């Protein structure tokens, strides 16, 4: 449609598109709310586990704390590196108009 300069969207089609967008946004809001609630529940149970573990094994609190911080930093670094590589691959595919790079980037997203 974008390549065809003569393509014109009538008012009825615009209304249908707007209706579909509103429906999709409502579904997306519901999914985000469910995700946030589940994430909060998992966070509460994880915190309870951490407190119980540290109370039972008092001599390992420092090691557990340093290991968890190290694990979080490594996980964060790996996610940033992955996102950076995919972004570079995506931008390269758009600049060079290489369909293969674009499909690879979409496959990993």
Q: How far is CA 90 from CA 4, 12, 27, 81, 108, in A?
A: 25, 35, 28, 14, 11
pLDDT of residue 103: 84
Domain of 66, in residue numbers:
61-109
pLDDT of residue 3: 64
Query: Is the full-model pTM beyond 0.95?
Result: no
pLDDT of residue 106: 82
Task: Kindly state whether residues 1 and 41 are assigned to the same domain.
Answer: yes
Average model confidence (pLDDT) across the chain: 86
pLDDT of the chain, 109 residues: tens digit per residue? 556 667 777 888 888 889 999 999 999 999 999 999 999 999 899 888 888 888 888 888 888 888 888 998 999 999 999 989 988 988 888 888 888 888 888 887 7
**Of residues 92, 67, 1, 34, the one with CA closest to residue 26:** 34
Task: Kindly state whether residues 5 and 43 are assigned to the same domain.
Answer: yes
Task: Kindly state whether residues 66 and 49 are assigned to the same domain.
Answer: no
Residue after which a domain boundary falls, among 16, 38, 56:
56
């Amino acid at each position: 449609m974008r390549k065809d300069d003569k393509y014109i969207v009538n008012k009825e089609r615009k209304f249908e598109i707007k209706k579909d967008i509103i429906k999709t946004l409502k579904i997306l809001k519901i999914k985000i709310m469910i995700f946030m609630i589940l994430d909060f529940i998992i966070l509460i149970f994880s915190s309870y586990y951490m407190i119980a573990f540290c109370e039972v094994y008092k001599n390992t609190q420092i090691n557990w704390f340093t290991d968890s911080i190290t694990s979080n930093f490594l996980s964060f670094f790996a996610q940033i590196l992955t996102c950076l590589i995919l972004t570079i691959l995506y931008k390269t595919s758009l600049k060079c108009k290489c369909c293969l790079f674009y499909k690879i980037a979409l496959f990993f997203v």
